[in-house]
Amino acid sequence: MSAADDFVITRRRKKYKFARFDEFSNCYHLDEWIAGAPPMPGKKLIVEIGAGSALFLVELARRYPDNFYIAIDIKGDRLYRGARAALEQGIANIVFVRSEIQHLGEIVPAHSVDEIWLTFSDPYPRKSDARHRLSAPRYLELYRQVLHRGVLHFKTDNQPLFDWSVEQFGASGWKIGAMTRDLHGSDLPDEYKIMTSYEQKFTEQGLPIFYLDATPKLNK
């Protein structure tokens, strides 16, 4: 099979998954969500941004059925995996929204979110791309606006991104709580150690996982 044939097959698979995303009852495009978001019952509202397959959030939703979970990513063919898993397991307290991050305030009301998760975000290693990192100051301000006296959780395998993010949290008026450079060797809660697909790959390679949580000091 030629490289061109392989590319065509990959594109077809992505289109198939995107079509399936549209069919799933727990999936929404941004305009659909704005037009008719379902009720969000639950003791707590937890959001994962840049969720990818969202299998991490699906497992949290399974463990804590009294909470409500929203997985957000611009890639419908990624969210498709988590959406399918949730439906197959009968997990009803999670939804999947295909959207860019800057629309976060349209997805959830101000001061309504109890927890935000950023898991293995793209590190954008070039300095010129730093503004696109999900822990950049412009995004931290978005998170501040929707959090309700809540906490942001940040996990990554990338040490330069982690060190840079620690600086951004401090400079943007966030208070760092728990922090570790070896999550799976720490005594932090087990749910923090639920593995994403990337995380399992990294830990099998013996790579440490970096973690911190933070709260905005000026959050009201």
List, for residues 92-138, the tens digit of each pLDDT value. 999 999 999 999 999 999 999 999 999 999 999 999 999 999 999 99
Q: What are phi and psi of 119, to 5 degrees?
A: -120, 115
Catalytic-residue membership of 122:
yes
Cα 12 to Cα 6, 19, 92, 131, 218, distances in angstroms: 10, 11, 29, 32, 47
Residue 154 vs residues 24, 49, 160, 211: alpha-carbon distances, Å: 29, 10, 14, 6
- pLDDT for the residue numbered 197: 77
Q: Are 117 and 193 in contact (CB under 8 A)?
A: no
Residues 135/101, Cβ–Cβ less than 8 Å: no
Total domains in the fold of the chain: 1
**Amino acid identity for residue 156 in this structure:** T
**Element housing 97 (H / E):** strand 94-98
What's the CATH number where 202 sits?
3.40.50.150
Q: Give the contacts of 194 (CB within 8 A, at least 6 positions apart).
A: 56, 59, 60
Q: Which domain holds residue 162?
A: 3-216
Collect all residues with Cβ–Cβ distance below 8 Å to 152 and sequence separation of at least 6: 115, 116, 117, 118, 143, 174, 213, 214, 215
d(CA 43, CA 63): 14
Question: Looking at per-residue confidence, does 205 or 22 come out higher?
Answer: 205
Give residue-wise pLDDT tens across range 139-166: 999 999 999 889 999 999 999 999 999 9
pLDDT over 80 at 16, yes or no = no
Average pLDDT, the chain: 90
- Of 122, 129, 163, 182, the active-site residue reads 122
- The alpha carbons of the chain give a radius of gyration, in whole angstroms, of 17
Mean pLDDT value across residues 64-90: 95
The predicted model scores a pTM of 0.89
Q: Mean pLDDT over residues 55-65, rounded?
A: 97
